Structure 1
Amino acid sequence: MNEERTRRRLPREEREQQIMDCAIRVFAQRGYSAASVDEIAELAGVSKPLVYLYLESKEGLFLACLRREERRLVAAFQGAATEVGTSELRLSAGLRAFFGFVADHKDSWAVLHRQAPGLGESIAAEITRARRSVLTEVRTLVREGIELGGGSVRLGETDADFVAHALVGAADSLTDWMKRHPDESPDRVTLRLMGMVWVGMRQVLGGEVWAPPGSGFEDVAGAA
């Protein structure tokens, strides 16, 4: 009884956060389509009508969860990336924050990036927007690295976008790899990824571009 009274006295904002915390767990475990508001309400210790009063609908609840976790991830990325000096160190810190976020908030990452398509236009649009916001942060750091790298080659916006997509895609795939290798820390995974990506990028910025021998693309690559 005392616990129930304490729950009833929670401010609305705090109660909403509690509901979203529980909703993220259910959405991550069951997916949007199979998740039920009844289960979320029970897990949060509130009534189903209260969930609808605060978040309006199951879709509204999911969108609120998606936006909150996207803000948290971007804030973690930005916060880490502004604490160090050079662009490659900022990118490394940002990736470390990303892997740390995924390691500490597995359900949040599942909601952000592992939901199946075909969930409705509004949800699909919000998922796309959330993913683009993460890409924007990575792209910005990549462009800074290119501009400050001092090499003889300057990659264009399309190339920077390509690198950003490759990094985010690799990072996403590595979240599964991290599950199979629990002894690999976020720091270690970041070092591995930076070793593969940034070392190669430095060579490209220095004018070295790979093309298959005898392919006819050598001159094109060299002029890129």
Structure 2
Amino acid sequence: MIDAAVQVFSRSGYHTSSVEEIAEAAGISKPMVYIYLGSKEGVFTACIHREADRLVRALREAVRPYDPPELGLWQGLGTFFRFVADNRDSWKVLYQQARTQGEPFSKEIAEARRRVMDEITALVVAGTELPGGERIIAQRDAEILARMAAGAADALTEWLLENPEETPESLSERVMNLALAGVERFHTGDIQQP
């Protein structure tokens, strides 16, 4: 039922989609949708929760604890971009549709975005720590870098979908090279802290 709802919402948007369309796409009766999820609002909220769970799970599974930190960060970005490329309907619902709906979904989408941000922050913080525990950049700077990476990833998803010649892997490599070049310059003192 959620798969069908994600497809319907991504195609038609929240306001023009109906519970009847969702039930028809799922191959169930309209009353069954109401029994399980209560309302169209309940269906949309369930979509937000499930798609955020899928993205967070994909990010966690991408990083193996025995990998070097920078590889984990690269794999995390690649996973994010691959998720978007492979789950366009999910992305439309989770980020495009949900963001524009306001209440009652703003709390749900804020929580989903916080969970994804926490995963990306953990990747960046781990990716800027050397094997002995020494940090390439301060923890706070790593957190800022995580926000930059998440914002770039968010902004670059549309670009990725509009440029099919670019793969999630090649885009990850570009982002990592640009980010790491800046981190390296900061670490070597070429860029001074204010």
TM-score of the aligned structures, taking structure 2 as reference length: 0.89
Correspondence for 2:173: 191
For the aligned residue pairs, the C-alpha RMSD in angstroms reads 2.0
Matched, 1:119 2:102: yes
| Alignment partners' CA distance in 2, 1:111 and 1:205 | 39
Contact 2:56/2:119, CA 8 A, preserved across alignment: yes
Q: Which is further off, 31-40 or 144-153? A: 144-153
Correspondence for 2:24: 42
Matched, 1:105 2:105: no
| Alignment partners' CA distance in 2, 1:185 and 1:134 | 21
Note the 1:57-206 alignment, pairs <5 A. 57-82=39-64, 85-115=67-97, 116-121=99-104, 123-148=105-130, 154-157=137-140, 159-206=141-188
- C-alpha spacing 1:141/1:206, structure 2 compared with 1 (3 Å): farther
Please list the CA deviations of residues 114-134 of structure 1 after superposition, one character each: whole Å capped at 9, or x if unmatched. 12434313x111101111111
Q: Which runs of 5+ in 2 are unaligned?
A: none
Letter in 2 for 1:94: G
Letter in 2 for 1:50: M
Q: Which runs of 5+ in 1 are unaligned?
A: 1-18, 210-221
Contact 2:63/2:76, CA 8 A, preserved across alignment: yes
Higher RCO by CA contacts (8 Å cutoff, separation 6 or greater): 2
Task: Give % identity.
Answer: 43
TM-score of the aligned structures, taking structure 1 as reference length: 0.78
Quote how far apart the aligned CAs of 1:56 are: 1.1
Matched, 1:24 2:6: yes
Quote how far apart the aligned CAs of 1:69 are: 1.0
- C-alpha spacing 1:31/1:63, structure 2 compared with 1 (3 Å): same
Is the partner of 1:35 in helix, strand or coil? coil
Letter in 2 for 1:119: G
Letter in 2 for 1:117: T
Please list the CA deviations of residues 145-164 of structure 1 after superposition, one character each: whole Å capped at 9, or x if unmatched. 2332887863242x333211
Correspondence for 1:217: none
Letter in 1 for 2:148: A
| Alignment partners' CA distance in 2, 1:188 and 1:142 | 19
- C-alpha spacing 1:152/1:106, structure 2 compared with 1 (3 Å): closer
